[in-house]
Chains A and B, each alone.
Chain A
Amino acid sequence: AQRVTQPEKLLSVFKGAPVELKCNYSYSGSPELFWYVQYSRQRLQLLLRHISRESIKGFTADLNKGETSFHLKKPFAQEEDSAMYYCALRPYSSASKIIFGSGTRLSIRP
């Protein structure tokens, strides 16, 4: 069965410190991986996807198929990064659905 695991419910770091939000998945095929973010009083929205290989708001995420991980990283945290972050997986099939992890709340301390 497909599963997405985010081991940390809450992550608190100081402004300027590096951030890493962990995401592990279980899926036997080739998945698409995403990070979604929900800022306070805003809608849940896409932050980045692995196929784009892009950096959004200073965040990057690399798909490691050997470790089945898709950790989200940022070298220097900013206060506006405080939000709820969800890792999500979509099996690489047009008839498939997106599965979310349980989420990690990131809190940036000034």
Chain B
Amino acid sequence: DADVTQTPRNRITKTGKRIMLECSQTKGHDRMYWYRQDPGLGLRLIYYSFDVKDINKGEISDGYSVSRQAQAKFSLSLESAIPNQTALYFCATSDLGQGGAGELFFGEGSRLTVL
């Protein structure tokens, strides 16, 4: 079934460690996004990519980096994790759609805890 898959689903790590969250999709969408969800803050955009050669910073990109390895793969890295990066991370994809109204399709989320 066409889907958005995130790995790992849960991860506990220590301060200073490098972490990579991976996202793959079988929807054939060009656009991919990484959001983080925090209680009371909703979803905040970290990075987004409109195609393999296009990477853009979102609202809260500091401390994160991304790689768009292929149309179907978009990875989020924390080079040196810190406790305030503890959050639920979502990958999403979208198609442009008619009139530019592309719906977002989300993965199940990756819960990251930084100790």
A pairs with B:
yes
A6, A93, A98, A102: the one contacting B104 at CB < 8 Å is A98
| 0 or 1 for each of B92-115: is its CB under 8 Å from A? (1 = yes) | 101010011101101111000000
**Of B33, B94, B108, the contact of A43 (CB 8 Å cutoff):** B108
Chain B residues packing against A (C-beta within 8 Å): 33, 35, 40-45, 48, 50, 56, 58-59, 90, 92, 94, 96, 99-101, 103-104, 106-109
Instruction: Give, as a whole number of angstroms, the nearest-CB distance from A37 to chain B.
Output: 11
Bound Cα distance A43, B58 (Å): 22
* Cβ-defined contact, B106 with A43, below 8 A: yes
Number of A-B residue pairs with CB-CB distance less than 8 Å in the complex they form: 54
* Min C-beta distance of B59 to chain A, whole Å: 8
A residues near B43, Cβ cutoff 8 Å: 44, 86, 100, 103
Assess whether A97 is in contact with B108, with CB atoms less than 8 Å apart. Answer: no
Residues of A within 8 A of B96 (CB): 94
Contact among B33, B41, B56, B59 with A102 in the assembled complex (CB-CB below 8 Å):
B41
- Chain A 45-61 interface mask (CB, 8 Å, partner B; 1/0): 11001010000000000
13 residue pairs from A and B, CB less than 8 Å apart:
A32-B100, A34-B103, A36-B104, A44-B90, A49-B101, A49-B103, A51-B101, A88-B104, A90-B100, A93-B100, A99-B45, A100-B42, A102-B42
